[in-house]
Amino acid sequence: MANNSRVTEFLLHGFSDIQELQIFHSIIFLVVYLAAVMENLLIITVIIYSPHLHTPMYFFLANLSFQDIGSISVTVPKSVANSLMNTQVISYSGCVSQVFLLVFFMLSHFYLLGVMAYDRYVAICNPLHYETLMNKKTCIQLATSAWTGGLLYSILYTGSTFTLEFCSNVIYQFFCEIPQLLKDSCSGLYLAVIWVMTCGAGLCFIYFSVVVFSYVRIIKAVLRIPSSKGKQKAFSTCLPHLIVISLFLVSGTFAYLKPISSSPSAFDLFTSILYCMVPPITNPLIYSMRNTELKTALRKLILSCVPSSSKKFSLK
């Protein structure tokens, strides 16, 4: 990728310049980061070591947890390191990497949420054909298509963004956020990036429409279930997914469709935290809160790791 910019590094001005506040911010971010990583690793571990969870729904959930780990790892560790070292610098290549990886994980996350909506649609609306339609090969192909779609768009998006010439290297965020980078641009190729963003928004809208259509059909099918217990079970598998989709779309919309501030803004910082840090730490909680199978598997895994002598003592 040719670097036509005079800028060789960027300055991240996301938080206060006061050392005490920087330390406080780094502690909060580090606690949130470690909690998110541990939660998602626990989800992945439980699914891997529980044979009865080797189903399409949990296979996609493990992929989703891996994406959550990746997306929060792109932004938070660098911000914590800068705060602890009392610096604001990120290299040009580091900024490129942040944009590329963040778009990759975010877009593949969005595509995978659509795949999970299709999985729930088949499970509830076509239960007799579920095992045939959602076989192992199909699940791998769907997950691969989600990852590949995110990768291809990330390459296109990052490439078009960093062909721009930047007149300023100051970013009023704790990471290299694309709206802030576009604000610093003084290149005539700005319209090319807007075109890429517009195409991406169009694809996301089409994808979202498919998700909405799937859930309209799902809700109609659930309402036709005669027993209240059956309805409750069906809704318990769909409700967490709906909450995760809503959280992801609302936070992303706020972050990328809001007007770009020309000066530091607490609202800009809040929306970035909302879509970068909140989903990775809340998604595992949302999916495990009403999921009896996952909670039971987690309990068995924890008990299997406890020494037998400790189990006897706890029983007494």
More confident residue, 288 or 32: 32
Residue 185, φ and ψ in degrees, nearest 5: -85, 145
pLDDT-based confidence at residue 190 (cuts at 50, 70, 90)? low
In a domain, 120, yes or no: yes
- The pLDDT of residue 237 is 64
- pLDDT value at residue 276: 83
- Rounded to whole angstroms, the Cα distance separating 297 from 305 reads 13
Using alpha carbons, select from 245, 240, 17 the residue that is nearest to residue 113: 245
- pLDDT band, residue 316 (cuts 50/70/90): very low
Pair 146, 115: CB distance under 8 Å: yes
Angle at the Cα of 214 (from 157 to 139), degrees rounded to 5?
A: 65
Q: Determine the pLDDT at residue 2.
A: 43
Element (H, E) at 11: strand 9-12
**Cα–Cα distances in Å, from 117 out to 94, 213, 216, 259?**
34, 10, 11, 31
In a domain, 40, yes or no: yes
pLDDT at 141: 94
pLDDT digits (tens, 9 = 90+) for 237-289: 677 767 777 777 776 666 666 666 555 567 777 778 877 888 888 888 887 76
Total domain count for the chain? 1
Residue with tokens 């990120």: 90
**pLDDT grade, residue 101 (50/70/90)?**
very high
Is 216 among the domain residues? yes
Confidence label for 224 from pLDDT (cuts 50, 70 and 90)? confident
pTM metric for this prediction: 0.83
| Domain span including residue 174 | 9-299
Most confident of 15-19, 180-184, 228-232: 180-184
CB 113 within 8 A of CB 241: yes
- Mean pLDDT, the chain, rounded, equals 80
DSSP labels for 78-100? HHHHHHHTT--EEEHHHHHHHHH
For residue 101, the domain's CATH number is 1.20.1070.10
pLDDT > 60? residue 188: no
In a domain, 17, yes or no: yes
The half-sphere exposure of 128 on its side-chain side, counting CA atoms within 13 A, is 0
Q: 289 lies in a domain? A: yes
Q: Considering the domain boundaries, does residue 25 fall inside one? A: yes
Kindly state whether residue 254 falls inside one of the protein's structural domains: yes
Q: Do the beta carbons of residue 76 and residue 280 sit within 8 Å?
A: no
Q: For residue 247, what are the contacts with CB-CB under 8 A and spacing of at least 6?
A: 278, 279, 282
Cβ 112 vs Cβ 70: under 8 Å = no
Look at residue 50 and tell me if it is in a domain: yes
Q: What is the pLDDT of residue 130?
A: 87
Paired tokens of 210: 């498919």
Say yes or no to pLDDT of 314 above 80.
no
Q: What is the mean pLDDT of residues 195-218?
A: 72
pLDDT, average across residues 153-163? 84
